[in-house]
Amino acid sequence: MNLKQRTVIPDLQDNHINKIKDSNKSETSSQSSGSGERIKDIGENEKILMIDQLPDDFNEKEMLSRINQYGKAKYVYWDPDRHRSFIRFEDKMLASTIIQSSKLIRIRTSLFLLQFGSLKEALEIGLNIGLPNKILWIGNIKPMSKAELTEHINYSSQSLEINFRYGTDYAFATMASLEDAYAVVNRLNGLVNGNRTIHV
């Protein structure tokens, strides 16, 4: 389906968007050095993300190919004239994790060139600029079982909760501390899983 035809979305009427943007509700936002994209949580129970300052040659297909690495978006409102897009997820935790993930907290000059799951990127961003988070997204986990994943996560680290999403290829882990979260990133990111590589 051509996403450009999806110009009317009940949850994202202009007056509703303006109300959210004009409210005093705290927002999570980030901006790369110089000109670049920004990603914001604009409310709706933290399920709707706005990505703006998109480059002219960026398109919705490329956007979805990157975002869907973390889970399927419910729908997208694409606004090329204003260089922005609104994405709604069914999963509140998924949207929140994308916002706070060390790999997306600062979006560099070109979102479509960003290497997701890069340990160097994760450590550089996670350690040096805002919104460090104890919730980790762990992708490419198939065919690993929940027991195996739990063993990997809890090896010399302490987790509070592991949310294993059956039928998907990712899981969430809430760690006891930031130190535990960074230890898991160091240990699991890039780990060979069969013929695949795990990304955290």
Q: Read off φ and ψ for residue 68, nearest 5 degrees.
A: -70, -5
Using CA atoms, how far apart are residues 42 and 124, in angstroms rounded to an integer?
Answer: 26
What are the angstrom distances between the C-alpha of 1 and each of 4, 57, 58, 61, 199?
Answer: 9, 20, 18, 11, 29
User: Is the pLDDT reported for residue 103 higher than 60?
Assistant: no
User: In the structure encoding, which two tokens stand for residue 120, read together?
Assistant: 């160097």
d(CA 176, CA 174): 7
The domain defined by 13-102 carries CATH number 3.40.50.300: no
The residue ranking higher by pLDDT, 27 or 172, is 172
Band of the pLDDT at 108, cuts 50, 70, 90?
Answer: very low
Compute the distance between CA of residue 77 and CA of residue 86 in angstroms, rounded to an integer: 5
CA 193 to chain centre: 22
Going 45 to 98 to 35 to 178, the CA torsion angle's sign is positive
Neighbours of 25 (CB within 10 A): 10
Please tell me whether the overall predicted TM-score, pTM, comes out greater than 0.85 for this model.
Answer: no
- Cite the DSSP H helix spans in the chain: 14-22, 60-67, 92-100, 119-128, 146-154, 178-188
Please state which of the four CATH numbers 2.30.38.10, 3.30.70.330, 3.90.550.10, 3.20.20.140 is assigned to the domain occupying 134-197: 3.30.70.330
Please write the tens of the pLDDT for every residue from 10-23: 333 333 333 333 33
pLDDT in tens, 6-65: 322 333 333 333 333 333 333 333 333 333 445 444 444 446 666 666 667 767 777 777
Ordered by start, the domain boundaries in the chain are 13-102, 134-197
